[in-house]
Amino acid sequence: MSKYALNCIGVLTSGGDAPGMNAAIRAVTRAAIYNNIRVKAIFRGYQGLISREIQEFNTQDVSNIIHHGGTILKTARCEEFRTAEGRQKAYDTMVSEGIDALVVIGGDGTFTGARIFAQEFNVPIVGIPGTIDNDLYGTDSTIGYDTALNTIVECVDKIRDTATSHERLFFVEVMGRGAGFLALNSAIAAGAEAAIIPERETSVAQLDELILNGFRKSKNSSIVIVAEGGGGAQAMAGRIHAQYPEYDIRVSILGHLQRGGSPSAFDRILASRMGVAAIEALLDEQRSIMIGIVNDEIVNVPFTKAIKYDKQMSDSVINVSQILSI
């Protein structure tokens, strides 16, 4: 028997959208209804909880969304939820709507807000990691990362056609905020000559080596993937151009096209598993935890850990990238 009533949950998406969020909303909704729990969809993230943009969902409300990118619930980064007054309003909404617990789908900022809110008002909250950056401690993968990675690889494959035909050096900037997971793994998958990532300062020195030993000698094409948090492609290209004005250099910043599109099968399955696990965790009286996946097993990670610790980049993966780029 549950220590608290679990008759109705609220679900929201917050922070940057990520492909697979809809699959997670669908799984949360259906798993809750399967367990006789009502579902209230909260629109525009925490803002919708404050301003009461809420609609009850039944199973049909989440039909035909599993293959769509973005989030049907809309999303936002909410300044008001950072204030005590904002959180009080959000709690008042939960009480008046009869919402007993929340499932929040998002990233670091989403869980930081959730942790504070849960502590202040003793609200059960479970998080689902949805971000293309894959930068959350405690989970091997976040929803949206695999799709974004595949999108980047598809783009770089296309850029390579021009790079090869014109014998150019391309700097391709990818997203990831302060993390280099998208950059490193897309570099491996697309066979790029180098990856500049924030986690390894040495990757910049390796770029000089690439220019001197590879591009300069044979004057062939090269693709360097630059994480947005690793210095930026424009700056890298500017520096190399100043040193080697004879090279034909181009910059391509992939931008938000990395965040859109139909989710991959991997992300749909991950989102479905995590959505069901979130409801099971609430039924199991878990609170203030993020659902993660480690070695293909679902795990519960306390918000405190998911937020506090940095996810480590695997040395062996960095090694693979370096060995293969000679």
Tokens of 295: 């070695």
Q: Pick the catalytic residue: 17, 92, 100, 133?
A: 133
- For residues 19 and 69, the answer to whether their CB atoms sit within 8 Å is yes
Residue 66 is assigned to a ligand binding site: no
Residue 60 neighbours by CB distance under 10 Å? 8
**Closer to ligand F6P by Cβ: residue 16 or 129:** 16
Residue 313 is assigned to a ligand binding site: no
Q: How far is the CB of 175 from ligand F6P (least distance, A)?
A: 3
Residue ranges in contact with ligand F6P by CB under 6 A: 16, 107, 131-133, 175-177, 228, 259
- For residues 41 and 26, the answer to whether their CB atoms sit within 8 Å is no
- For residues 126 and 101, the answer to whether their CB atoms sit within 8 Å is yes
Strand order in the sheet with 222-227: 194-196, 222-227, 169-174, 249-253
**Closer to ligand F6P by Cβ: residue 19 or 176:** 176
Is residue 79 classed as helix, strand or coil in its secondary structure? coil
133 is catalytic: yes
Residue 219 is assigned to a ligand binding site: yes
- For residues 289 and 173, the answer to whether their CB atoms sit within 8 Å is no
Which single residue is written with the structure tokens 């976040």? 142
Tokens of 48: 């919708």
**Closer to ligand F6P by Cβ: residue 6 or 114:** 114
Q: How far is the CB of 127 from ligand F6P (least distance, A)?
A: 15
Residue 132 is assigned to a ligand binding site: yes
Q: How far is the CB of 259 from ligand F6P (least distance, A)?
A: 5
**Closer to ligand F6P by Cβ: residue 16 or 275:** 16
Catalytic residue IDs: 133
Residue positions forming the annotated binding site for ATP: 16, 77-78, 107-110
Residue positions forming the annotated binding site for Mg(2+): 108
Residue positions forming the annotated binding site for ADP: 26-30, 160, 191-193, 217, 219-221
